Amino acid sequence: MSQGVFVTKYKCTICGYVYDEAIGDPDSGIAPGTKWEDIDDDWSCPLCGASKCDFVLIDDTLSKPVKASASSVSVVEFDGENGNDPVVRQLAEAIAESERIVAEDLLRESGYILPQGNNIKEILEGFLKHNKSEDFPVDGVKILLDKLFQKSVSKKENIKMIKYRCTVCGYIHEGEMGPDFKCPMCKQPASVFVAIEENKDKGENPYSGTKTEKNLMEAFAGESMARNKYTYFAEVAQREGYDQLSEIFLKTARNEQQHARLWYEELGNIGDTALNLKHAAEGENYEWTDMYDRFAKEAEEEGFKALAEKFRKVAAIEKAHEERYLALLKNVEMQKVFEKSEEIMWECRICGHLVIGKKAPAVCPVCKYSQSFFEVRCENY
């Protein structure tokens, strides 16, 4: 079978993004099949914002006509008419019908797309388990399984992406930076970036059960209350015309906030976003199911009916808070924060750019801020 597969791809030298002419860049309005030379010069990489001149042509070895023999394409051959296993017979017929398409896809995508889904793995393992013919390429299928799955899994497990923060504009970059790397936001070189240290031993409390643990909790509570208290005092000073005193209260409140953070982190109570959402939901649940319910009953017993009603109304708010945190947690766990099942309108919270789609753009095409600054647009007026 002789078939020419003509594909041209260009790779971003900054982040590694590959522009495939066959796919285009729909998020930026570039339709599939658009030639590289037909793209506007002001087009930028959808991942890192690099300019078009930062792209290089990928070796077009795959663009040349390739002659693929049946033996080089097919992994196994079956007797589709006389096979005893109906499942295997059905698979053999499907493979025979789609052989040309599969061959072209493999030639085009080789080196760019990792194997996806467990269905391929299950099919290959089924071949090993159920086929007993002497000429069945057992070793070949085992090697294929090893190459496609075991090695790819081990590589993913060993890869630890390091995050860097730009000290000029605060942009977060994930992955290594080349010598010519520039911040897509402020265009500063890689030398202004610093590595972000991941929290070690998240959730661990080395002071558990000690007096020091109680002291840390008391210190956190005291600093937290002071921070809120000074914020309220600042509002009063502002209303009464003491602007300088108001700012001093606010400055001190910010100091107390950082003191509280020190003791809260020491107790191991700050984790990643998913863990923080889980703990937040648990806290809100306690407040509306236990704390405020108990407070309302005791206030009512002591004759403070108006206060009891306030407790109950706030409890209803805390319940809504819990529901919101749980919904957000589900979005994070299911990776649905920036991707939905249906087309919606996304809004960049920096410049207001609007885009309709199932997924928010990796980079805002207007202000170049990252995907993390997009949200589902919701008008409340």
Q: How confident is the model at residue 7 (pLDDT cuts 50, 70, 90)?
A: low
Q: Same structural domain for residues 41 and 123?
A: no
Query: What is the pTM (predicted TM-score) of this model?
Result: 0.48
> 337-348: per-residue pLDDT in tens?
999 989 999 999
User: Is 230 a domain residue?
Assistant: yes
Percentages helix, strand, coil for the chain, rounded to the nearest 5?
50, 15, 35
CA of 252: how far to CAs of 13, 199, 223, 246, 247, in Å? 47, 27, 11, 10, 9
Q: Same structural domain for residues 138 and 172?
A: no
Residue 110 token pair: 């080789």
DSSP for residue 136: S
User: Is 109 a domain residue?
Assistant: no
Q: With pLDDT > 70 as the criterion, what percentage of the chain qualifies?
A: 70
Q: Same structural domain for residues 58 and 150?
A: no
Average pLDDT estimate for 110-123: 52
User: Is 81 a domain residue?
Assistant: no
| Cα-Cα-Cα-Cα dihedral sign, residues 139, 144, 146, 147 | positive
User: Is 108 a domain residue?
Assistant: no
Q: How confident is the model at residue 230 (pLDDT cuts 50, 70, 90)?
A: very high
Q: Same structural domain for residues 142 and 169?
A: no
Closest CA relative to residue 109, chosen from 101, 120, 118, 117: 101
User: Is 68 a domain residue?
Assistant: no
Lowest mean pLDDT among 12-26, 123-137, 286-300: 123-137
User: Is 322 a domain residue?
Assistant: yes
User: Is 75 a domain residue?
Assistant: no
Q: Same structural domain for residues 28 and 137?
A: no
What is the reported pLDDT for 264?
92
Q: Same structural domain for residues 264 and 306?
A: yes
Number of domains in the chain: 5
> What CATH number should be reported for the domain holding residue 343?
2.20.28.10
In 240-272, which residue ranges form alpha helices assigned H by DSSP?
243-266
341: CB partners within 8 A, 6+ apart: 358
Residue 345 token pair: 């309108």
Q: Which residues pair with 51 in a beta bridge?
A: 44
Q: Same structural domain for residues 184 and 149?
A: no
User: Is 200 a domain residue?
Assistant: no
Element (H, E) at 165: strand 163-166
> What CATH number should be reported for the domain holding residue 187?
2.20.28
Q: Same structural domain for residues 228 and 322?
A: yes
Distance CA 190, CA 168 (A): 11
Distance CA 6, CA 25 (A): 18
Residue 138 lies in domain? 114-159
Residue 16 token pair: 């590694």
Q: How confident is the model at residue 152 (pLDDT cuts 50, 70, 90)?
A: very low
Q: Same structural domain for residues 243 and 303?
A: yes
Q: Same structural domain for residues 251 and 308?
A: yes
CB 70 within 8 A of CB 42: no
Q: Same structural domain for residues 270 and 222?
A: yes
> 231-283: per-residue pLDDT in tens?
999 999 999 999 999 999 999 999 999 999 999 999 988 888 999 999 999 99
Q: Same structural domain for residues 173 and 141?
A: no
